[in-house]
Structure 1
Amino acid sequence: MDSISNSGVSLILNPDIANVINEHQHDLSTCEEEFENQEEIQQMLANAFDSQSLSNTDNDEHAFGDDDDDDVQLPVQISTIEHVPQSEDNVRLQQDNETLRHRITEYAANEEIYRQNTLEYEHKMNELNEKHEQKFFSLRLEYETKIEQLINKTSEQQIEMLTLKQMYETIYDEKCHVDEQINDIRLNEQNLQEKLDKIQTEYEQLLKLNKKPLMINVLTQTDFIDDDKKIKQLQNELDDYKLKLNSKQIEINSLKFDLNNLKQEMNDRLSLLTTNISNEKLNKVLSERDQHLNELNKLKIELPDLKQQMIESFQTKVITFKDQHRV
């Protein structure tokens, strides 16, 4: 019963099994009480046999003692009187004994049945307990797996959040850097505009000076027809002014080109900052921007050489033109 009680405690989560166990515990308690009553009956029966044997012994002694006083009638009467109740008591006691033996046999059979039922229910209880433990283990494993999956998912989300946070911090830093570059571009634009204005002024002055061939022609036709030195000097001066003019024009075009590129870059950056785009598109735009910046830097690096090449080519043409003119 201790094993049943312990098993019942372990399976307290299953009400059906607990009810069955309680019913059989009640039956076993009833059986034990009946066996205790049986022991009391056996003790009473033993006492009854002892008292009967003592009473029979006393009756025999009285019967033999009375033979001395009355030789004929008294022994017959005593033996007749005592013989009848003794037979009835023996029959009654034998019947009670048989009844008790039958009840003992029945109780023994019931005890064996209860033991078998107890073993059977204990076996079923163990099976149910094992199934319950397996089910509990499966549920626990399932919930642990789900918890682990949720933990992994939470970790992935945290990593993704950290990645997004770093990305936005990078974008913010890039925005600050772009703002600084925009300010620098604006300053450069102002400087370039000032240079452009200055060059434009010089260009206008050169245009004014370019009108000197008419004056030279006038002079050569009137007062300085025979003065070849002055003509050559003025012609050389004119060629120099033309050369400077062309050089300034090339420089102006180059500065305009740089200014347009800077304006375009500034507009691109401003549009990039004011437009909400996805991360992939942003990365693509940033990549294209870096590529254009690299190309622009490359052009800036190559621009002086190109200028020099253009100037040298122009100078070569001027020299060739002078030689042809002199010839």
Structure 2
Amino acid sequence: MYNNRLAIIGLFSFLMVFSVVSTAQAELWELVIEVNAEKGAIYSGDSVIITGKVVDQAYKPIRGAEVFIKAGSYTTKAFTDPWGVFKGEIKNFERIPGTYIVNVIGSWYGMTGLSTTEFQVKGEVSQVSMLQEKLSTDEARKYLSSNESDFVKNPIGQTLFKYYHKLLDELISEQKIALKPSEDKIFIEQQRLIAENLRNQAIDEFKPGAGTYGGIQYNDYIDSLNPEIKDLVISQLNFTKNNFEEAQKIRDEILANGGTYEDARQAYLDRISIPKEILEEFNQEKVEQELEEESEEEPTEENSENQ
């Protein structure tokens, strides 16, 4: 009896030691994988780029190793080049903000390796994104693509089927609410249309043109100028007038193509804003042009003597 107990204890101890050794050996991968997320943080819907290198225990690059990349329910595959380097892309990673683990498994002629890295999805968590997260799992896809009759004899399956379909109905409802414009946005758009209509009516009624660059007052002002600077002032006024006309044209084109009133207004202001440097450069060119014209008109000494 005593000997039997010793035999059982000895067998149990042997199995424990064997189990520990086997586990240690299982964790010692034949391939070593270096892995890195190209961007430590992305926004939901962006692509995730995973790069890395596969080597053996002697740090010799492994060429042609097959690399599986998995982040949540998203997977992709890549192969290593002659230097053991690989690059994989998970497109349109639509998940709620948080930290995600990437598992990378490499295999080559029976040898395997495992490594992990992580990245973050930035942004605010919304009800829509939370529901999308719950419905993106393999289990959710299974029940959403099935019929309720498939789980007649499976009470747990029936419960999960109803649960995921209820989440789907909630998601559809939340998406409709998110797409519906708020009362504030509707009011602002209404006010913008009213202001635009009033502006167009005023233009049709008064026909102001690009500005006050003609008429009796304009002519009186020009006639009162010092003759020495008269041409320069006229050129400056024409320069400004052309800027206003171009600005109005740009604004009207943006509104006609469906742009917002704010975008059109900003484009208009950007166009009519004349930096001091540009105006000084224009003035300098005008002065130089006038000097050249005067020099061409002045007779030379030789021509004076001949006359």
With the length of structure 2 as denominator, give the TM-score of the two structures.
0.32
Whose helix fraction is larger, Structure 1's or Structure 2's?
A: 1
Structure with more relative contact order (C-alpha pairs < 8 Å, separation 6 or more): 1
With the length of structure 1 as denominator, give the TM-score of the two structures.
0.30
Whose strand fraction is larger, Structure 1's or Structure 2's?
A: 2
